[in-house]
Every structure is written in C-alpha cells, then in structure tokens.
Structure 1
Amino acid sequence: MQRILVTGGAGFIGCNFVHYIMGHTSLHVTVLDKLTYAGNLDSLSGLPADRFSFIHGDICDSGLVERLTAQADAVVHFAAESHNDNSLKEPRPFVDTNLVGTFTLIEAARLHSTRFHHISTDEVYGDLALDEPRRFTEESVYKPTSPYSATKAGSDMLVRAWVRSFGLKATISNCSNNYGPYQHVEKFIPRQITNVLDGVRPRLYGQGLNVRDWIHVEDHSAAILAILERGVIGETYLIGADGELSNRAVVERLLRHLGQPADAYDLVTDRPGHDLRYAIDSSKLRSELGWQPRFVDFDSGLAATVAWYRDNEDWWRPQKAATESKYASQGH
C-alpha cells in the first residue's frame, strides 16, 4: 500500500487514526469528510502537505467516491452517524450515512478491486447482563437496540454480503468505547470533563451502573493498522482493551482528576433502551495478528485525556454551547 482513503477522517477516531498513520508509516492519506457538526478540520492541522490531502464531500456521492477509490490502494471507512441519543431523536441521517454511504463505498471498492476496511462497533451485539461472565466474540449474535446500532449492524452485513457475493477484499472490526483527544463534547467522557471545567455538575443516566469497555483511541488505531497489514480477507476482528467500568466509576475518577469530590454528580432519568453492559473479547486479534493495547492502565489514560481537554479549550469551546443547547431542548 502507498495511498489510503480515510472516510470520516475529521471525526474523533478517524483523525486519531490519520495522525497515527502519519507517525508510524510512510503512507499518503486522503481524508474524505462531510464536515457535519462532528467533523473538525482543526483536528487535522499540522499534517505534512506532501503526504496528506483533504476532500470535503459526502460518502453518498457515488461519483466522488468512485474517483477517490480509484486513486487509493485501500479504503478505511470510519464515516458514520454514531450518537445514540441523536439516533433516537432523528433516525434518518443514520440510515443515509451508515447504510447508503457504506453501500456507495463498497460498490466503488468492488469496481476498482480496492482493499476495504470497515470500522464498526460492539453495540451491534446488543448488551449483556451486569453479572454475566461472558463477553462478545466474533461469533456473537447481532441484537442491535437503537437506530444507531441497527444501521451499523446493517452496514456490517452489507460488507459481508459483498465479500461473499462479489469478492470484495474487505475486513471488519468491531471496537469497544473509545476515549482520548479530539472527541466531540457531546460524547460521555469529554462532556463530563468540559462540564466540570465549566463548573457544571456531571449527570448520570439511571444509577450510573451501565458498564462500558473502554479503549484508548491510539490503541484502536494500532489495531486497525495491524488488520490492514495482516488481517485475513473476509474476517472480523473485535478490538478491546479489557477496560470494563461503570459510568459511575468513570465519572468518579474524572472528578478526582479534576480536583472535585468523587460524589459531585447527579442522577437523572434513564434514556429509553439504554444498554446495560458491553464487553469485548479481543483474543482473536491478539493471538492471530499480534496486537496488544499500550494503554492498559485506564486511569493514566484518563488523566492524560483530562489534561488534553484542559489544555485545548480553543478546540472544544466552539462546540460546547451548541451541544448543551441541543441537550437542553431534548430534556437532557
């Protein structure tokens, strides 16, 4: 590979992947991003012009997608509508981007016989009981519970069907919850950090007992590169770092890092269909491709994330007022 096309590369995980690729390979990266509210060009600032280019466009634009795919040795597909609360309020954009957009991309990859990697989520598997010993594996049954997870499940199925029916050279990865720099303030960890920095008490759905499996975004990027380089076509790989914690535990740790009492938060009415627990078994990725997470201490990774948001207010401040206004209008 010499040139890769990254869709959604101005978003949180996509931009971190681009930075990782620029720092760990000699690849030329082209980012295609629609620059919705979740995309931020400032997240890609400072990249060398001789190895990086940006295209403002929509993954549903078949002509543009085909032209860019023809110029790439591989496509890494991050672009997605990904916020559960937003999907409950307005599902249609999730259908358009996650399903129609993925269809458009895999058709172009099929036409040009281009290597394709599809980024997905553990949320396609539904949830687990809080006291259940098992974790999700590549063989787990899909049980999506929201418009977001349903459309991501559908996009996974499209990729699998194109592999079998048309010989698409594709792999899929389903990752657990990411944290780290450049994440939009609508998401759980950065919203809580920026609220506390603004003197606002964090709020937790229900009793705050819902469990998520956290992974630092840099470890996710390293896993994707390993799959691109060594993954078996047609295979799915689950990416996780054994980081299961309740939302309450995460907020209490955040408050301590921000110099606040660990109980300085409020509980609010739970959201509809709120999944209880996610947990990833990434043993296939580790044993077959040799990947290992570097950020095995969640608390130190969280401290670094808190420091990043404290030091980069100029990046997140323009998003904050609009995000909180939207949440207020929705009763959150």
Structure 2
Amino acid sequence: TYNIIIALQAKARNYDNVVKLYRDMQIAGFRPDKITYSIVMEVLGHCGHLDEAEAVFLEMRRDWAPDEPVYGLLVDLWGKAGNVDKALGWYHAMLQDGLQPNVPTCNSLLSAFLKLNRFQDAYSVLQNMLAQGLVPSLQTYTLLLSCCTDAHASMGLCCQLMAITGHPAHMFLLYLPDAEPGGENVRDHARYFLDMMHSEDRESKRGIMDAVIDFLHKSGLKEEAGFIWEVAAQKNVYPDSVREKSSSYWLINLHLMSEGTAVTALSRTLAWFHRQMLLMGSCPERIDIVTGWGRRSRVTGSSLVRQSIEKLLHLFQFPLFAARGNTGCFVGCGEPLSQWLHNPYVERMHLL
C-alpha cells in the first residue's frame, strides 16, 4: 500500500510527500523494498538532493543487493546533474559488483560526456558497449546526432562516433540523396527508413526524426529537411503537431521540437495550407501556433524555439497576435490570415 501511495505522489510531483511517506513507513515498522528505494532515490535526484539519494542507496544496501537498474538510476541522475565524474564512479561501482550495464545506462553516461564535449570518454563508452555485446540503440544514435548538430567544430569527431554505432540511422544519413525536383527521392528514402524502424516506439522515432531534421536544417539542407518532415508527419511520428480543433480552427503544436525542426514544421505546414487554399478554395479561420513556452510551461525565461518562430513570422509579416495570457502561443485569424496565405512566398518559407 505504501508503495502505491508513494508512486502516485511521485507521479503527481508531490516530492515532499514522497520523502515523508518513506520515513513514515519506516517509523511504522514497514520495510522498504527495492521499488520503494528506487522511487525515493529518483525523487530526491529530481529535487537536486543527490547526496541524499546516495544515502538512501546505502540504506538499501543493508537489506537488499542493488541491481543494475538502481546503479543505472544513479548514473543517470548524476549525469543529468552535470557531474559526469560521479556518474562514471557509479558506473564503475556497478561493474565492480559484477553487474553488466544495459544500453539505457550506457546512453546516460554517453549523454553526460557528450554535453561536456568529452569525446574520448564518449568513444570509450561506445567501445565498452560493443565489447560487452550491447547493441547501440536508436536513442544512442540520436544523442550523437544531436551533439553533432550543436558542436559544429567537432563534427568530424561526432561523425566518427556515429559510424562506430553501426546503426541503420547512420546509413540513412550517409546515403541521403540530394533532393530532386519535387523531392520524391528524399521522401522515398525517409519512408524506407521509418518502415525499417517500425518496431521502435513512437518516442524514439520522434527523437531521431527531430535530430535529423534539426541537423539538416542547420547544415543548410533545408529542402531535404522539409521533405523528411512531411514524411514524418504522414507517418504519424508527430501525432499532435497539426490538428483541426474545430471547423476551420487549426492548431500547430511545436512543443518538444528542436529549433530547426520547429521552423521546418511550421514552414511546411503553412505551405500546406497555402496549397490547400489554392486547390480547394478553403482557408482556415484561425491558426494557433504553440511553441510550448507559455501558460502551462514549468520553465521560465525565453525559448530558442519561441524566438526563432517569432522571428520567422515577423520576417514574413504573418498577421499574428499573442494569445491572451499565453506568451508561447501566436495566433492568426480572419481575413488578414486568408490574404497572407495567398502569398506565393509561403511555399518557400523553409528555405530562408
């Protein structure tokens, strides 16, 4: 019963209640199990109390032998906190206990090294994965490609690391054709890859497509990025990105996309509205463009996605206004929107 309540409180992000329940159950004479310890450690980690999470680990060792997921959790928590040496220490502790890391744990350590541009250490992680018989996952490749996009000065090193994985995603990028007129060759290439990745979960496919489109956009291959976005949208990789909320009222949701992907997605979606209007004569009455940085955002400050989208819309004189109480949402509606969508340059916005 305690585990159920603790898990529900953790899911609701009532972190103080989780820690209190953990202490209460011990006072009441109940013995925590591995599930209890893992939840409490994760909660403490998310709150930034990693030393306390380690103390809970030591408490657990008195009654239970820690397994790989527990060690993996500590590797992940310290890695995300930016203390890669601590993460590496827990990784080695796991090995010393005779446990073999799994791919997600290796990905956590790899991500921590990549964020600090410690490419030699990242190389060692990949080599150790292969030596232990682990197969780099789609998430592994996504991490490397995202790093390649962000660290242009180290692109050569990143490409070497991507090649080491031997993942089909590398072949997809390596043999991406130059876009022919109409782009059907690029679309076919993207369809084949996504069909090959059909067994991957949607989140993993969304992650790799986001990384690919962002990489191509920022590398100047914006035509190719646009065609790949269209295929990803058709394949329902982004199920909530474009939908009709009600008659002629559309939502373009750029939440959780990277900067380059968001710009590509918005540009190609507006181009689709432009073509539909020319073909069918119908025009949206209203379009809401959500950057995911507004009313319900848990993060304060300014988003690169929001900045880039606002800059793009202003550059092309999109008739926008900010939604009331939601600075992360831009709105276009009525006759000004209809007139704007008639402009032929809407079809080529993504190439700017």
Q: TM-score normalised to the size of structure 2?
A: 0.28
Q: TM-score normalised to the size of structure 1?
A: 0.29
Q: Select the structure of larger CA radius of gyration.
A: 2
- The structure where helix makes up a greater share of residues is 2
- The structure where strand makes up a greater share of residues is 1
**Structure showing greater relative contact order (alpha-carbon pairs closer than 8 Å, 6 or more residues apart):** 1
